[in-house]
Amino acid sequence: MTPEIERQQQKAKEFMSLLPLTLALAGLPGCEPGRPFTESQLESRATTLRIAYKVARQIIVDVTR
């Protein structure tokens, strides 16, 4: 396995391990049954998740110092 693939797998594992904290920080409500999100709503939610993930990573860095 190449170092780049290993790095990508490590990042994916880190993301998945922080997902519960990320979702809690994002505070996004679920969708109504039978009413999917629009493309702009999905983009907005993705942006919120990206920001929450950055905060979750920083929390872990701060806690482990």
Q: Judge whether 26 lies within some domain.
A: no
Q: Does 44 map to a domain?
A: yes
Its domain, for residue 49, covers 40-65
DSSP string, 1-65: --HHHHHHHHHHHHHHHHHHHHHHHHTPPPPPTT-PPPHHHHHHHHHHHHHHHHHHHHHHHHHT-
Q: Which amino acid is at 44?
A: S
In a domain, residue 65? The reply is: yes
Q: In terms of pTM, does the model score above 0.95?
A: no
Q: How many domains does the chain have?
A: 1
Which amino acid is it at 65? R
| pLDDT tens figures, 10-64 | 999 999 999 999 999 999 999 899 999 999 999 999 999 999 999 999 999 999 9
| Domain contains 49 | yes
